[in-house]
């Protein structure tokens, strides 16, 4: 159950991140530069870190 939730979280985070980045890059407006940085950090925090934690939990079992 735990791993299922984490995989779902990973998919939702990556899909949300991808859609937002695509929309911002397509607009080609430089005012989004800070938003790009924010969403890049968001992507790392909410996808990579929980995913690494999940892998660590699996290895402990």
Decide: 46 and 13 in contact? Cβ < 8 Å: yes
Task: Say how far apart CA 42 and CA 17 lie, in whole Å.
Answer: 8
Q: pLDDT band for position 1 (50/70/90)?
A: low
> For residue range 7-40, what is the model confidence (pLDDT) as tens digits?
777 788 778 877 877 777 777 665 556 666 777 7
Specify the pLDDT at position 30.
Answer: 52
Quote the number of domains for the chain: 1
Angle between helices 49-60 and 2-27 (to 10 degrees): 160
Specify the pLDDT at position 43.
Answer: 74
pTM for the complete prediction? 0.41
Specify the pLDDT at position 58.
Answer: 76
Decide: 46 and 31 in contact? Cβ < 8 Å: no
17, exposed or middle or buried, with CB in 10 Å at 0-12, 13-18, 19+? middle
* Domain that includes residue 15, residue range: 2-60
């Amino acid at each position: 159950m735990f791993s299922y939730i984490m995989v779902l979280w990973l998919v939702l985070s990556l899909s949300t991140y991808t859609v937002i980045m695509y929309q911002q890059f397509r607009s080609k407006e430089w005012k989004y530069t800070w938003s790009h940085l924010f969403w890049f950090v968001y992507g790392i925090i909410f996808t990579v870190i929980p995913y690494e934690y999940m892998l660590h939990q699996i290895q402990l079992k």
